[in-house]
Amino acid sequence: MTERKDDRLWGGRFEREPNKQFDAFQRCFAFDRRLLLYEIAVDRAWAKALEPVGIFTAAEVKQTLASLDKISERAKTDSAWLESFGATAEDVHHFVEKALVEELGSLGWKLHTGRSRNELVATDFRLFVIDAAAEIQRGLGALLNSFLLQAKANVSVPMAGMTHMQHAQPILLSHFLLAHAEAFARDITRLQHAAASADACPMGSGALAGNSFAIDRNAIARELGFSRITANSLDGVSDRDFALDYLFALTGIATHLSRLAEDFVIFASQEFSYVILPDDFSTGSSLMPQKKNPDAWELIRGKTGRITGALVSLLTTLKGLPTSYQRDLQEDKEALFAAHDQVADMLGVAAGAVAATKFNTERLKSAASNPALLATEAADYLVRKGVPFRQAHDIVGKVLRDAEKQNISWTALPLESLKRLSPAFEADFSRSLSVDAALSSKKVPGGTAPESVADAIANLERRLNKKAIKTGAKP
């Protein structure tokens, strides 16, 4: 056997060295080193699979596994080595091969038998996405828990529910908080979907055509914790739908966080004063001593653009690709890693800020007691007395107009004036007009009546206690 003189992964047919600038341009260890432990796990599975097909002897498998363990241990503990040795590696696959050859000599070159970096990177990346989705599920679990605590602590606080940012009907603050919680609970389903779409092992796809050593693909998949193998080798090396699914799930989370942020920024303004910003999640102004700014929420809202950007970036990378592996696919990682890190941080900060926020219950109650919020109740009252709704709506509109003309609150109009507009108004009308009555009337499942909200709290608590959310386990 002719010994190789250099440690490159390719180059036998090349006469000239790569251009320096291009060489730096095509290297990716700086970011794909994040896949190192997955790469080593795949290498272990591959080494084992090479024995039954006669490429490795049992002793060679043993030696290779021992070296891979050593490399993994060193990578975890010796950051100086990771830096210096990594600087000489083209990518994470090259890094492990070089380290293996240092350990084992030419035996290290045998591991790459019948396989390609194209399938390796797809497999590593899938494993990353599965773990990443589980981590984000745990972050969502913590945020949902903050909502649950606040919803429980504020069960009896009414607020002015709004549509079009105009006072509409009274609701419970807990109901408002649980609305956000529902959105984040849906995100868990999206993450589970992304993890399920990543859960197929491409190893055995080769560079594009498959494997010629009759490697046991299912055994490799099982060894790595995948529940299935990919169905087509060309698709196996080029499918990045799992990454798109994950980025879409992250974009959904960021969008929900951004909407939550918007609510809290508005509620913290002097005009609303619904929430008291926690000192530990706010900053001051270098100029205006009185300021306490909702920076945690503003930054969460601001960072959302990057997450959406990462999704659009990958969609754009993928849209023009011919079938099979193309080097463009190397561009799938950096934006996804960054989006994952940002969303993990955003969730952590949001969970802390929601839990630490104090609600100005007096302000919320006083806004809820705006009589205008009860106009629909008045129309519903007339409906119960047999007036068709459209007519009832019109009558109440006239009541409001009369009160406005007299410059008094419409709830202060005497029964006689009301009776002039409709004989259906009776003595029990004024009793039916209260925030409490309005709230308790909404007792459908999913409504804002105290009983319905208590059920919703119990329901969220049950879902949170389910193992899937707590641990981010596969569904």
The contacts of residue 319 (CB under 8 Å, 6+ apart) are: none
Q: Are strands 275-276 and 358-359 parallel, antiparallel or unpaired?
A: antiparallel
In whole angstroms, give the CA distance from residue 116 to residue 42. 12
Quick one: which of 329, 351, 379, 396 contacts ligand ARG (CB under 6 A)? 329
Query: What b/e string do you get for 271-289 counting C-beta neighbours within 10 Å, with b at 16 or more?
Result: ebebbbbbeebbeeeeeee
| 3-state DSSP assignment of residue 359 | strand
Q: How far apart are CA 263 and CA 284, in angstroms?
A: 20
164 belongs to the catalytic site:
yes
CB of 93 to ligand ARG, least distance (A): 7
Q: Which of 123, 150, 330, 342 binds ligand ARG (CB under 6 A)?
A: 330
Site for ligand ARG, residues 32 to 51, rule: CB under 6 A: 32
CB of 38 to ligand ARG, least distance (A): 13
238 belongs to the binding site for ligand ARG (CB under 6 A): no
Q: Which stretch binds ligand ARG (CB under 6 A): 258-266, 325-333, 417-425, 444-452?
A: 325-333
Hey, which residues between 433 and 472 contact ligand ARG (CB under 6 A)?
none
254 touching ligand ARG, by CB under 6 A: no
Q: Which of 44, 98, 115, 117 binds ligand ARG (CB under 6 A)?
A: 117
SS3 helix, strand, coil % of the chain, rounded to 5? 70, 5, 30
Give me the helices (H) in 216-374, please: 217-224, 233-238, 241-268, 295-319, 333-356, 361-368
Tell me, by CB under 6 A, how many residues bind ligand ARG. 9
Which of these, 170, 177, 121, lies nearest to 145 by C-alpha position?
177
3-state DSSP assignment of residue 36: helix
Asked if residue 115 binds ligand ARG (CB under 6 A), the reply is no
Helix segments in 105-200, DSSP class H: 117-153, 173-198
Q: Which of 13, 164, 327, 431 binds ligand ARG (CB under 6 A)?
A: 327
Q: Residue 403, by phi and psi: left (phi above 0), alpha (psi -120 to 50) or beta? A: alpha
Annotated active-site residue in 79, 227, 269, 285:
285
Of 121 and 364, which CB lies nearer to ligand ARG in the complex structure?
121
CB of 98 to ligand ARG, least distance (A): 15
Tell me if 335 contacts ligand ARG by CB under 6 A. Answer: no
By CB under 6 A, tell whether 118 contacts ligand ARG.
yes
Asked if 28 interacts with ligand ARG (CB under 6 A), we say yes
The reply on whether position 317 binds ligand ARG by CB under 6 A is: no
C-alpha to C-alpha distance for 95 and 90, rounded to whole angstroms: 7
Closer CB to ligand ARG, 115 or 175, in the complex: 115
- Supply the residues annotated as catalytic: 164, 285
* Residues forming the site for ligand ARG (CB under 6 A): 28, 32, 91, 117-118, 121, 327, 329-330
